[in-house]
Structure 1
Protein backbone atom coordinates (compact mmCIF):
# COMPACT_ATOMS: atom_id res chain seq x y z
CA UNK A 1 0.00 0.00 0.00
CA UNK A 2 1.44 3.37 -1.01
CA UNK A 3 -0.12 5.23 1.91
CA UNK A 4 -2.40 4.72 4.89
CA UNK A 5 -3.83 6.62 7.84
CA UNK A 6 -2.47 5.67 11.25
CA UNK A 7 -4.09 6.49 14.59
CA UNK A 8 -2.71 6.49 18.12
CA UNK A 9 -5.28 5.97 20.87
CA UNK A 10 -4.07 7.67 24.05
CA UNK A 11 -5.67 6.13 27.14
CA UNK A 12 -5.66 6.33 30.92
CA UNK A 13 -6.22 2.68 31.75
CA UNK A 14 -7.03 1.74 35.32
CA UNK A 15 -7.68 -1.18 37.64
CA UNK A 16 -11.03 -2.31 36.20
CA UNK A 17 -10.62 -4.47 33.07
CA UNK A 18 -14.29 -4.07 32.12
CA UNK A 19 -14.08 -0.27 32.21
CA UNK A 20 -10.85 -0.32 30.21
CA UNK A 21 -12.45 -2.61 27.64
CA UNK A 22 -15.39 -0.22 27.21
CA UNK A 23 -13.05 2.74 26.74
CA UNK A 24 -10.94 0.75 24.30
CA UNK A 25 -13.92 -0.11 22.12
CA UNK A 26 -15.27 3.44 22.12
CA UNK A 27 -11.94 4.98 21.16
CA UNK A 28 -11.10 2.40 18.50
CA UNK A 29 -14.46 2.99 16.87
CA UNK A 30 -13.83 6.74 16.97
CA UNK A 31 -10.39 6.32 15.38
CA UNK A 32 -11.83 4.15 12.61
CA UNK A 33 -14.56 6.74 12.12
CA UNK A 34 -11.84 9.30 11.52
CA UNK A 35 -10.58 7.20 8.63
CA UNK A 36 -7.76 5.25 10.27
CA UNK A 37 -6.59 2.12 8.47
CA UNK A 38 -4.28 1.19 11.37
CA UNK A 39 -5.13 1.85 15.02
CA UNK A 40 -2.67 1.40 17.87
CA UNK A 41 -3.45 1.48 21.60
CA UNK A 42 -0.92 1.90 24.44
CA UNK A 43 0.99 -0.50 26.62
CA UNK A 44 -1.25 -2.08 29.29
CA UNK A 45 -4.45 -1.27 27.43
CA UNK A 46 -6.51 -3.85 29.31
CA UNK A 47 -5.30 -3.34 32.88
CA UNK A 48 -2.89 -0.92 34.52
CA UNK A 49 -2.22 -1.77 38.16
CA UNK A 50 1.04 -1.78 40.05
CA UNK A 51 0.26 -4.37 42.75
CA UNK A 52 1.51 -7.76 41.58
CA UNK A 53 -1.10 -9.86 43.39
CA UNK A 54 -3.97 -7.69 42.20
CA UNK A 55 -2.76 -7.83 38.61
CA UNK A 56 -2.24 -11.59 38.57
CA UNK A 57 -5.63 -12.06 40.17
CA UNK A 58 -7.36 -10.21 37.32
CA UNK A 59 -5.52 -11.26 34.18
CA UNK A 60 -6.59 -14.11 31.89
CA UNK A 61 -4.73 -16.41 29.57
CA UNK A 62 -4.75 -15.41 25.91
CA UNK A 63 -7.55 -17.76 24.90
CA UNK A 64 -9.98 -16.32 27.45
CA UNK A 65 -8.90 -12.68 27.53
CA UNK A 66 -11.89 -10.44 26.66
CA UNK A 67 -9.73 -7.63 25.25
CA UNK A 68 -8.08 -10.00 22.77
CA UNK A 69 -11.46 -11.33 21.67
CA UNK A 70 -12.94 -7.84 21.34
CA UNK A 71 -9.94 -6.59 19.34
CA UNK A 72 -10.29 -9.43 16.87
CA UNK A 73 -14.00 -8.74 16.45
CA UNK A 74 -13.50 -4.97 16.07
CA UNK A 75 -10.73 -5.34 13.51
CA UNK A 76 -12.99 -7.53 11.40
CA UNK A 77 -16.08 -5.38 11.83
CA UNK A 78 -14.27 -2.10 11.09
CA UNK A 79 -11.94 -3.58 8.44
CA UNK A 80 -8.82 -2.10 10.05
CA UNK A 81 -5.45 -3.24 11.26
CA UNK A 82 -5.82 -3.08 15.04
CA UNK A 83 -2.75 -3.18 17.27
CA UNK A 84 -3.25 -3.73 20.99
CA UNK A 85 -0.04 -2.09 22.16
CA UNK A 86 0.07 -4.57 24.99
CA UNK A 87 -1.98 -6.14 27.72
CA UNK A 88 -1.08 -8.47 30.58
CA UNK A 89 -1.60 -12.13 29.72
CA UNK A 90 -1.48 -14.90 32.32
CA UNK A 91 1.22 -17.52 31.82
CA UNK A 92 1.51 -20.97 33.36
CA UNK A 93 4.57 -20.17 35.50
CA UNK A 94 2.96 -17.75 37.95
CA UNK A 95 3.90 -14.69 35.92
CA UNK A 96 2.37 -12.68 33.09
CA UNK A 97 3.49 -11.67 29.62
CA UNK A 98 3.39 -8.00 28.60
CA UNK A 99 2.03 -8.93 25.18
CA UNK A 100 1.11 -6.95 22.09
CA UNK A 101 -1.28 -8.18 19.39
CA UNK A 102 -1.74 -7.14 15.77
CA UNK A 103 -5.00 -8.09 14.05
CA UNK A 104 -5.82 -7.74 10.36
CA UNK A 105 -8.96 -6.35 8.69
CA UNK A 106 -10.44 -9.85 8.61
CA UNK A 107 -10.08 -10.13 12.39
CA UNK A 108 -7.30 -12.72 12.17
CA UNK A 109 -4.25 -12.47 14.39
CA UNK A 110 -1.23 -11.43 12.32
CA UNK A 111 1.41 -11.29 15.07
CA UNK A 112 1.97 -11.26 18.81
CA UNK A 113 4.98 -9.86 20.66
CA UNK A 114 6.13 -10.20 24.28
CA UNK A 115 8.05 -7.23 25.69
CA UNK A 116 11.71 -8.17 25.81
CA UNK A 117 13.27 -5.56 28.10
CA UNK A 118 11.98 -5.35 31.67
CA UNK A 119 11.73 -1.94 33.35
CA UNK A 120 13.80 -2.70 36.46
CA UNK A 121 14.93 0.75 37.57
CA UNK A 122 15.32 3.13 40.51
CA UNK A 123 14.59 6.68 39.37
CA UNK A 124 16.08 9.83 40.95
CA UNK A 125 12.85 10.89 42.68
CA UNK A 126 12.58 7.58 44.55
CA UNK A 127 10.24 5.98 42.03
CA UNK A 128 11.17 2.30 41.68
CA UNK A 129 9.99 -0.43 39.30
CA UNK A 130 10.72 -4.16 39.04
CA UNK A 131 8.75 -5.49 36.08
CA UNK A 132 10.69 -8.76 36.16
CA UNK A 133 8.94 -9.63 39.45
CA UNK A 134 5.63 -9.84 37.58
CA UNK A 135 6.41 -10.37 33.91
CA UNK A 136 8.38 -12.98 31.99
CA UNK A 137 10.41 -11.25 29.27
CA UNK A 138 10.06 -12.24 25.66
CA UNK A 139 13.01 -13.48 23.67
CA UNK A 140 11.94 -12.92 20.07
CA UNK A 141 11.80 -9.73 18.02
CA UNK A 142 8.86 -9.49 15.60
CA UNK A 143 8.38 -7.88 12.20
CA UNK A 144 4.87 -8.38 10.80
CA UNK A 145 4.31 -8.38 7.04
CA UNK A 146 1.05 -6.58 6.23
CA UNK A 147 -0.54 -4.90 3.20
CA UNK A 148 0.29 -1.59 4.90
CA UNK A 149 4.00 -2.41 5.07
CA UNK A 150 6.37 -4.32 7.32
CA UNK A 151 5.68 -3.43 10.95
CA UNK A 152 8.20 -3.90 13.77
CA UNK A 153 6.67 -4.48 17.22
CA UNK A 154 8.03 -3.34 20.57
CA UNK A 155 6.77 -2.08 23.94
CA UNK A 156 7.81 0.97 26.01
CA UNK A 157 11.19 0.33 27.70
CA UNK A 158 12.34 -1.49 24.56
CA UNK A 159 12.72 2.05 23.15
CA UNK A 160 16.01 2.46 25.01
CA UNK A 161 17.63 -0.46 23.18
CA UNK A 162 18.36 0.80 19.65
CA UNK A 163 19.83 -2.49 18.44
CA UNK A 164 16.31 -3.98 18.56
CA UNK A 165 15.03 -1.46 16.02
CA UNK A 166 18.11 -1.71 13.85
CA UNK A 167 17.59 -5.47 13.68
CA UNK A 168 13.95 -4.91 12.70
CA UNK A 169 14.89 -2.37 10.03
CA UNK A 170 17.54 -4.69 8.63
CA UNK A 171 14.83 -7.38 8.48
CA UNK A 172 12.70 -5.04 6.36
CA UNK A 173 10.60 -3.07 8.88
CA UNK A 174 9.28 0.19 7.42
CA UNK A 175 7.17 1.11 10.46
CA UNK A 176 8.45 0.82 14.04
CA UNK A 177 5.85 0.73 16.82
CA UNK A 178 6.41 1.78 20.43
CA UNK A 179 3.19 1.59 22.47
CA UNK A 180 4.08 2.76 25.95
CA UNK A 181 3.24 3.77 29.50
CA UNK A 182 6.26 6.06 29.94
CA UNK A 183 6.55 7.59 33.40
CA UNK A 184 6.02 11.34 33.55
CA UNK A 185 9.54 11.84 34.93
CA UNK A 186 11.34 9.96 32.15
CA UNK A 187 8.93 11.09 29.46
CA UNK A 188 9.67 14.78 29.98
CA UNK A 189 13.37 14.14 29.42
CA UNK A 190 13.55 11.38 26.84
CA UNK A 191 10.29 10.50 25.05
CA UNK A 192 10.54 12.78 22.03
CA UNK A 193 14.30 12.44 21.64
CA UNK A 194 14.29 8.63 21.69
CA UNK A 195 11.32 8.22 19.34
CA UNK A 196 12.70 10.67 16.78
CA UNK A 197 16.14 9.05 17.05
CA UNK A 198 14.73 5.58 16.32
CA UNK A 199 12.98 7.02 13.24
CA UNK A 200 16.10 8.81 11.98
CA UNK A 201 18.51 5.93 12.69
CA UNK A 202 16.39 3.46 10.76
CA UNK A 203 14.72 5.71 8.16
CA UNK A 204 11.35 4.35 9.29
CA UNK A 205 8.03 5.68 10.50
CA UNK A 206 7.54 5.45 14.27
CA UNK A 207 4.07 5.12 15.81
CA UNK A 208 3.83 5.42 19.59
CA UNK A 209 0.48 5.35 21.41
CA UNK A 210 0.86 6.18 25.11
CA UNK A 211 -0.87 6.07 28.45
CA UNK A 212 -1.31 9.52 29.97
CA UNK A 213 -2.14 11.17 33.29
CA UNK A 214 -2.68 10.12 36.91
CA UNK A 215 -3.82 6.50 37.12
CA UNK A 216 -5.83 4.72 39.81
CA UNK A 217 -2.74 2.92 41.14
CA UNK A 218 -1.00 6.25 41.73
CA UNK A 219 1.44 6.25 38.83
CA UNK A 220 1.70 9.17 36.44
CA UNK A 221 2.35 8.62 32.76
CA UNK A 222 3.53 11.16 30.22
CA UNK A 223 1.11 10.88 27.30
CA UNK A 224 2.22 12.79 24.18
CA UNK A 225 1.39 9.93 21.80
CA UNK A 226 3.09 10.69 18.53
CA UNK A 227 3.81 9.62 14.97
CA UNK A 228 7.18 10.45 13.41
CA UNK A 229 8.35 10.36 9.79
CA UNK A 230 11.49 8.57 8.57
CA UNK A 231 13.45 11.84 8.77
CA UNK A 232 12.38 12.39 12.38
CA UNK A 233 9.70 15.00 11.66
CA UNK A 234 6.78 14.73 14.10
CA UNK A 235 3.68 14.29 11.96
CA UNK A 236 1.15 14.19 14.80
CA UNK A 237 1.29 14.47 18.58
CA UNK A 238 -1.11 14.54 21.52
CA UNK A 239 -0.55 17.85 23.25
CA UNK A 240 -0.56 16.54 26.80
CA UNK A 241 -1.73 13.53 28.77
CA UNK A 242 -5.52 13.55 28.32
CA UNK A 243 -7.17 10.58 26.55
CA UNK A 244 -7.44 11.42 22.86
CA UNK A 245 -6.82 10.21 19.31
CA UNK A 246 -4.14 11.52 16.98
CA UNK A 247 -3.84 10.57 13.31
CA UNK A 248 -1.42 11.04 10.45
CA UNK A 249 -1.24 10.00 6.82
CA UNK A 250 1.84 7.86 6.13
CA UNK A 251 3.27 8.03 2.62
CA UNK A 252 5.23 4.79 2.48
CA UNK A 253 7.36 6.06 -0.41
CA UNK A 254 9.04 8.29 2.16
CA UNK A 255 10.81 5.25 3.65
CA UNK A 256 12.59 4.33 0.44
CA UNK A 257 13.31 7.98 -0.32
CA UNK A 258 14.95 8.56 3.06
CA UNK A 259 16.91 5.30 2.86
CA UNK A 260 18.19 6.34 -0.55
CA UNK A 261 19.04 9.88 0.54
CA UNK A 262 20.92 8.84 3.70
CA UNK A 263 21.71 5.12 3.24
CA UNK A 264 22.83 4.38 6.78
CA UNK A 265 21.24 0.92 6.69
CA UNK A 266 23.07 0.02 3.49
CA UNK A 267 26.30 1.51 4.87
CA UNK A 268 26.09 -0.34 8.19
CA UNK A 269 29.21 -2.38 8.94
CA UNK A 270 29.94 -5.17 11.37
CA UNK A 271 32.91 -4.56 13.61
CA UNK A 272 34.76 -5.80 16.65
CA UNK A 273 35.74 -3.84 19.76
CA UNK A 274 39.29 -3.72 21.06
CA UNK A 275 39.44 -2.52 24.67
CA UNK A 276 42.98 -1.25 25.29
CA UNK A 277 44.87 0.33 28.13
Structure 2
Protein backbone atom coordinates (compact mmCIF):
# COMPACT_ATOMS: atom_id res chain seq x y z
CA UNK A 1 0.00 0.00 0.00
CA UNK A 2 1.42 3.37 -1.04
CA UNK A 3 1.35 6.17 1.51
CA UNK A 4 -2.07 7.79 1.52
CA UNK A 5 -3.58 5.02 -0.61
CA UNK A 6 -5.49 1.91 0.41
CA UNK A 7 -7.99 -0.57 -0.97
CA UNK A 8 -11.55 -0.60 0.27
CA UNK A 9 -14.00 -3.49 0.01
CA UNK A 10 -17.74 -2.74 -0.12
CA UNK A 11 -19.97 -5.76 0.44
CA UNK A 12 -23.46 -5.76 -1.02
CA UNK A 13 -25.73 -8.22 0.78
CA UNK A 14 -29.18 -9.71 0.40
CA UNK A 15 -29.72 -10.23 4.13
CA UNK A 16 -32.70 -12.24 5.28
CA UNK A 17 -34.28 -13.21 8.57
CA UNK A 18 -31.77 -15.96 9.53
CA UNK A 19 -28.48 -14.86 11.09
CA UNK A 20 -26.74 -18.13 10.24
CA UNK A 21 -27.30 -17.65 6.52
CA UNK A 22 -26.34 -13.99 6.70
CA UNK A 23 -23.21 -14.87 8.68
CA UNK A 24 -22.03 -17.46 6.16
CA UNK A 25 -22.49 -15.04 3.26
CA UNK A 26 -20.69 -12.26 5.17
CA UNK A 27 -17.72 -14.54 5.94
CA UNK A 28 -17.42 -15.54 2.28
CA UNK A 29 -17.45 -11.92 1.11
CA UNK A 30 -14.93 -10.78 3.72
CA UNK A 31 -12.56 -13.48 2.48
CA UNK A 32 -13.00 -12.27 -1.10
CA UNK A 33 -12.39 -8.64 -0.12
CA UNK A 34 -9.28 -9.57 1.84
CA UNK A 35 -7.93 -11.60 -1.08
CA UNK A 36 -8.43 -8.50 -3.26
CA UNK A 37 -6.23 -6.50 -0.89
CA UNK A 38 -8.86 -4.54 1.04
CA UNK A 39 -7.64 -2.88 4.23
CA UNK A 40 -11.12 -1.63 5.11
CA UNK A 41 -14.33 -3.63 4.57
CA UNK A 42 -17.82 -2.13 4.87
CA UNK A 43 -21.22 -3.84 5.02
CA UNK A 44 -24.77 -2.50 4.41
CA UNK A 45 -27.55 -1.60 6.83
CA UNK A 46 -29.13 -4.23 9.13
CA UNK A 47 -26.72 -6.84 7.84
CA UNK A 48 -27.63 -9.35 10.57
CA UNK A 49 -31.41 -9.45 10.13
CA UNK A 50 -34.09 -8.21 7.73
CA UNK A 51 -37.53 -9.59 8.43
CA UNK A 52 -40.80 -8.65 10.09
CA UNK A 53 -39.67 -8.66 13.75
CA UNK A 54 -36.78 -6.25 14.21
CA UNK A 55 -37.54 -5.76 17.89
CA UNK A 56 -37.70 -9.47 18.65
CA UNK A 57 -34.55 -10.18 16.66
CA UNK A 58 -32.41 -7.34 18.02
CA UNK A 59 -28.83 -8.35 18.84
CA UNK A 60 -26.89 -7.89 22.06
CA UNK A 61 -23.79 -5.67 21.92
CA UNK A 62 -21.46 -7.35 22.68
CA UNK A 63 -22.89 -10.68 21.62
CA UNK A 64 -22.71 -13.37 18.92
CA UNK A 65 -23.11 -10.92 16.01
CA UNK A 66 -20.40 -8.54 17.18
CA UNK A 67 -18.19 -11.50 18.13
CA UNK A 68 -18.35 -12.65 14.50
CA UNK A 69 -17.24 -9.28 13.10
CA UNK A 70 -14.52 -8.93 15.73
CA UNK A 71 -13.15 -12.37 14.88
CA UNK A 72 -13.19 -11.62 11.14
CA UNK A 73 -11.32 -8.35 11.62
CA UNK A 74 -8.63 -10.19 13.59
CA UNK A 75 -8.50 -13.14 11.19
CA UNK A 76 -7.74 -10.95 8.19
CA UNK A 77 -5.98 -8.08 9.98
CA UNK A 78 -8.25 -5.37 8.56
CA UNK A 79 -10.59 -2.59 9.61
CA UNK A 80 -14.19 -3.75 9.47
CA UNK A 81 -17.33 -1.61 9.45
CA UNK A 82 -20.26 -3.95 10.19
CA UNK A 83 -22.73 -1.78 8.26
CA UNK A 84 -25.40 -1.70 10.93
CA UNK A 85 -27.16 -4.14 13.20
CA UNK A 86 -30.38 -3.84 15.16
CA UNK A 87 -29.01 -3.33 18.66
CA UNK A 88 -31.03 -4.48 21.65
CA UNK A 89 -31.59 -1.70 24.21
CA UNK A 90 -32.96 -2.89 27.56
CA UNK A 91 -36.25 -1.20 28.41
CA UNK A 92 -36.48 0.62 25.08
CA UNK A 93 -36.83 0.16 21.34
CA UNK A 94 -33.69 -1.10 19.57
CA UNK A 95 -31.21 1.19 17.83
CA UNK A 96 -29.90 0.90 14.28
CA UNK A 97 -26.21 0.82 15.17
CA UNK A 98 -22.95 0.82 13.22
CA UNK A 99 -19.74 -0.53 14.74
CA UNK A 100 -16.19 -0.18 13.44
CA UNK A 101 -13.65 -2.83 14.45
CA UNK A 102 -9.88 -2.52 14.33
CA UNK A 103 -7.49 -5.25 13.14
CA UNK A 104 -7.03 -6.30 16.77
CA UNK A 105 -10.78 -6.75 17.24
CA UNK A 106 -11.27 -3.60 19.29
CA UNK A 107 -14.48 -1.63 18.74
CA UNK A 108 -13.05 1.69 17.56
CA UNK A 109 -16.34 3.55 17.20
CA UNK A 110 -20.11 3.25 17.18
CA UNK A 111 -22.92 5.25 15.66
CA UNK A 112 -26.71 4.92 15.85
CA UNK A 113 -28.81 6.17 12.96
CA UNK A 114 -29.97 9.71 13.67
CA UNK A 115 -32.76 10.29 11.16
CA UNK A 116 -35.70 7.88 11.15
CA UNK A 117 -37.91 7.60 8.08
CA UNK A 118 -41.48 8.38 9.11
CA UNK A 119 -43.89 9.16 6.28
CA UNK A 120 -47.68 9.25 6.16
CA UNK A 121 -49.28 10.09 2.82
CA UNK A 122 -52.98 10.80 2.45
CA UNK A 123 -53.22 8.84 -0.79
CA UNK A 124 -50.16 6.67 -0.54
CA UNK A 125 -48.19 4.28 1.64
CA UNK A 126 -47.34 5.00 5.24
CA UNK A 127 -44.17 3.86 6.97
CA UNK A 128 -42.91 4.68 10.45
CA UNK A 129 -39.37 3.54 11.18
CA UNK A 130 -39.76 4.99 14.67
CA UNK A 131 -42.26 2.19 15.46
CA UNK A 132 -39.36 -0.29 15.35
CA UNK A 133 -36.24 1.61 16.43
CA UNK A 134 -35.22 4.71 18.32
CA UNK A 135 -32.86 7.33 16.91
CA UNK A 136 -29.30 7.98 17.99
CA UNK A 137 -28.02 11.16 19.62
CA UNK A 138 -24.47 11.71 18.37
CA UNK A 139 -22.62 12.52 15.16
CA UNK A 140 -19.69 10.13 14.82
CA UNK A 141 -16.20 10.30 13.36
CA UNK A 142 -13.76 7.39 13.52
CA UNK A 143 -10.04 8.12 13.13
CA UNK A 144 -7.85 5.26 11.90
CA UNK A 145 -4.33 5.11 10.42
CA UNK A 146 -6.02 4.70 7.02
CA UNK A 147 -8.30 7.74 7.13
CA UNK A 148 -10.95 9.56 9.13
CA UNK A 149 -14.44 8.20 8.52
CA UNK A 150 -17.78 9.90 9.06
CA UNK A 151 -20.59 7.42 9.72
CA UNK A 152 -24.20 7.52 8.55
CA UNK A 153 -27.05 5.14 7.77
CA UNK A 154 -29.44 5.20 4.79
CA UNK A 155 -31.98 8.05 5.25
CA UNK A 156 -29.24 10.17 6.86
CA UNK A 157 -27.93 10.88 3.35
CA UNK A 158 -30.82 13.30 2.75
CA UNK A 159 -29.51 15.67 5.45
CA UNK A 160 -26.51 17.53 3.98
CA UNK A 161 -25.84 19.40 7.22
CA UNK A 162 -24.74 16.15 8.84
CA UNK A 163 -22.09 15.54 6.19
CA UNK A 164 -20.81 19.12 6.18
CA UNK A 165 -20.33 18.92 9.93
CA UNK A 166 -18.38 15.68 9.59
CA UNK A 167 -16.23 17.08 6.77
CA UNK A 168 -15.64 20.25 8.77
CA UNK A 169 -14.35 18.13 11.64
CA UNK A 170 -11.89 16.22 9.47
CA UNK A 171 -13.78 13.43 7.67
CA UNK A 172 -12.08 12.19 4.49
CA UNK A 173 -14.37 9.22 3.80
CA UNK A 174 -18.13 9.54 4.28
CA UNK A 175 -19.72 6.12 4.79
CA UNK A 176 -23.40 5.39 4.27
CA UNK A 177 -24.70 1.87 4.84
CA UNK A 178 -28.20 1.51 3.48
CA UNK A 179 -31.27 -0.56 2.72
CA UNK A 180 -32.62 1.88 0.12
CA UNK A 181 -35.86 1.27 -1.76
CA UNK A 182 -35.80 0.73 -5.51
CA UNK A 183 -38.68 3.18 -5.88
CA UNK A 184 -36.60 6.14 -4.66
CA UNK A 185 -33.19 4.68 -5.44
CA UNK A 186 -33.62 4.80 -9.20
CA UNK A 187 -33.96 8.61 -9.07
CA UNK A 188 -32.24 9.72 -5.86
CA UNK A 189 -29.44 7.32 -4.85
CA UNK A 190 -26.63 8.36 -7.19
CA UNK A 191 -27.44 12.12 -7.28
CA UNK A 192 -27.49 12.32 -3.48
CA UNK A 193 -24.23 10.42 -3.09
CA UNK A 194 -22.39 12.42 -5.73
CA UNK A 195 -23.67 15.66 -4.20
CA UNK A 196 -22.41 14.64 -0.74
CA UNK A 197 -18.98 13.88 -2.26
CA UNK A 198 -18.76 17.07 -4.32
CA UNK A 199 -19.99 19.56 -1.73
CA UNK A 200 -17.69 18.14 0.97
CA UNK A 201 -14.72 17.14 -1.24
CA UNK A 202 -14.75 13.70 0.38
CA UNK A 203 -14.79 10.13 -0.79
CA UNK A 204 -18.22 8.55 -0.34
CA UNK A 205 -18.67 4.81 0.18
CA UNK A 206 -22.34 3.83 -0.04
CA UNK A 207 -23.06 0.17 0.64
CA UNK A 208 -26.55 -1.16 0.00
CA UNK A 209 -28.77 -4.13 0.56
CA UNK A 210 -30.19 -5.77 -2.56
CA UNK A 211 -32.98 -8.22 -3.28
CA UNK A 212 -36.61 -8.48 -2.27
CA UNK A 213 -37.35 -7.46 1.33
CA UNK A 214 -40.60 -7.96 3.29
CA UNK A 215 -41.85 -4.43 2.54
CA UNK A 216 -40.03 -3.38 -0.65
CA UNK A 217 -37.46 -4.16 -3.33
CA UNK A 218 -34.02 -3.00 -2.20
CA UNK A 219 -32.03 -0.88 -4.65
CA UNK A 220 -28.50 -2.23 -4.22
CA UNK A 221 -26.15 -0.25 -6.50
CA UNK A 222 -23.34 -0.06 -3.96
CA UNK A 223 -20.85 2.54 -5.15
CA UNK A 224 -17.63 4.38 -4.40
CA UNK A 225 -17.55 8.08 -5.33
CA UNK A 226 -14.46 10.27 -5.55
CA UNK A 227 -14.11 13.77 -4.01
CA UNK A 228 -14.56 15.12 -7.54
CA UNK A 229 -17.92 13.37 -7.80
CA UNK A 230 -16.85 10.57 -10.14
CA UNK A 231 -18.38 7.14 -9.63
CA UNK A 232 -15.19 5.11 -9.30
CA UNK A 233 -16.94 1.75 -9.19
CA UNK A 234 -20.47 0.40 -8.73
CA UNK A 235 -22.49 -2.79 -8.52
CA UNK A 236 -25.96 -3.51 -9.86
CA UNK A 237 -28.58 -5.38 -7.82
CA UNK A 238 -26.88 -8.66 -6.94
CA UNK A 239 -24.87 -9.62 -3.85
CA UNK A 240 -21.15 -9.23 -4.23
CA UNK A 241 -17.92 -7.42 -3.40
CA UNK A 242 -16.90 -4.07 -4.84
CA UNK A 243 -13.29 -2.97 -4.43
CA UNK A 244 -11.66 0.37 -5.16
CA UNK A 245 -8.81 2.63 -4.18
CA UNK A 246 -8.93 5.52 -1.73
CA UNK A 247 -6.19 8.06 -2.54
CA UNK A 248 -5.88 10.77 0.09
CA UNK A 249 -3.38 12.59 -2.12
CA UNK A 250 -6.11 13.01 -4.72
CA UNK A 251 -8.49 14.19 -2.02
CA UNK A 252 -6.06 16.95 -1.02
CA UNK A 253 -5.58 17.93 -4.66
CA UNK A 254 -9.36 18.30 -5.11
CA UNK A 255 -9.57 20.38 -1.95
CA UNK A 256 -6.91 22.73 -3.31
CA UNK A 257 -8.83 23.07 -6.59
CA UNK A 258 -12.24 23.50 -4.92
CA UNK A 259 -11.59 24.95 -1.44
CA UNK A 260 -15.25 25.03 -0.40
CA UNK A 261 -14.50 23.85 3.14
CA UNK A 262 -12.14 26.82 3.60
CA UNK A 263 -14.42 29.36 1.93
CA UNK A 264 -17.33 29.07 4.37
CA UNK A 265 -18.53 32.54 5.50
CA UNK A 266 -18.66 32.00 9.25
CA UNK A 267 -19.12 35.72 9.69
CA UNK A 268 -22.51 35.29 8.00
CA UNK A 269 -23.62 31.75 8.89
CA UNK A 270 -22.39 28.78 10.89
CA UNK A 271 -23.24 25.12 11.39
CA UNK A 272 -22.78 23.86 14.91
CA UNK A 273 -22.98 20.37 16.36
CA UNK A 274 -24.32 19.89 19.84
CA UNK A 275 -23.13 16.30 20.03
CA UNK A 276 -20.03 15.20 18.12
CA UNK A 277 -18.06 12.09 19.09
CA UNK A 278 -14.61 11.53 17.67
CA UNK A 279 -13.33 7.98 18.13
CA UNK A 280 -11.40 5.97 19.11
CA UNK A 281 -12.34 6.22 22.75
CA UNK A 282 -11.76 3.66 25.46
CA UNK A 283 -14.77 1.36 25.09
TM-score band by shorter chain is: over 0.9
Q: Distance in 2 between matches of 1:268 and 1:125?
A: 42
Cα distance change, pair 123–155 in 1 and its aligned pair in 2 (3 A) = farther
SS of equivalent to 1:224:
coil
| Cα contact 2:59–2:85 (8 A) shared by 1 | no
Q: Distance in 2 between matches of 1:170 and 1:100?
A: 21
1:150 aligns with 2:148: yes
In structure 2, what is the equivalent of residue 110 of structure 1?
Answer: 108
| Post-superposition offset of 1:95 | 0.6
In structure 2, what is the equivalent of residue 259 of structure 1?
Answer: 255
In structure 2, what is the equivalent of residue 247 of structure 1?
Answer: 243
2:265 pairs, out of 256, 263, 269, with: 269
SS of equivalent to 2:81:
strand
In structure 2, what is the equivalent of residue 24 of structure 1?
Answer: 26
In structure 1, what is the equivalent of residue 281 of structure 2?
Answer: none
Equivalences for residues 204-219 of structure 1 within 5 A: 204-215=202-213, 217-219=214-216
Q: Distance in 1 between matches of 2:58 and 2:244?
A: 33
1:234 aligns with 2:239: no
Give CA deviations for 1:117-147 in whole Å, capped at 9, x if unaligned: 0011247994432111111101100111101
| Cα contact 2:59–2:65 (8 A) shared by 1 | no
Q: Distance in 1 between matches of 2:140 and 2:182?
A: 28
SS of equivalent to 2:110:
strand
1:191 aligns with 2:189: yes
| Post-superposition offset of 1:93 | 2.6
| Post-superposition offset of 1:218 | 4.2
| Cα contact 2:88–2:95 (8 A) shared by 1 | yes
Between the two proteins, the alignment pairs up a number of residues equal to 267
Cα distance change, pair 95–202 in 1 and its aligned pair in 2 (3 A) = same
Q: Distance in 2 between matches of 1:99 and 1:45?
A: 11
Q: Distance in 1 between matches of 2:45 and 2:140?
A: 16
Cα distance change, pair 125–82 in 1 and its aligned pair in 2 (3 A) = farther
Cα distance change, pair 256–61 in 1 and its aligned pair in 2 (3 A) = same
| Post-superposition offset of 1:150 | 0.6
Q: Distance in 2 between matches of 1:181 and 1:154?
A: 12
Cα distance change, pair 124–73 in 1 and its aligned pair in 2 (3 A) = farther
Q: Distance in 2 between matches of 1:31 and 1:88?
A: 24
1:120 pairs, out of 110, 118, 121, with: 118
Which moves more between the two structures, 163-172 or 12-21? 12-21
Which TM-score applies when normalising by structure 2? 0.91
| Post-superposition offset of 1:60 | 2.4
1:222 aligns with 2:224: no
1:137 pairs, out of 130, 135, 138, with: 135
In structure 1, what is the equivalent of residue 62 of structure 2?
Answer: 63
Which TM-score applies when normalising by structure 1? 0.92
SS of equivalent to 2:97:
strand
SS of equivalent to 2:85:
strand
2:84 pairs, out of 81, 86, 101, with: 86
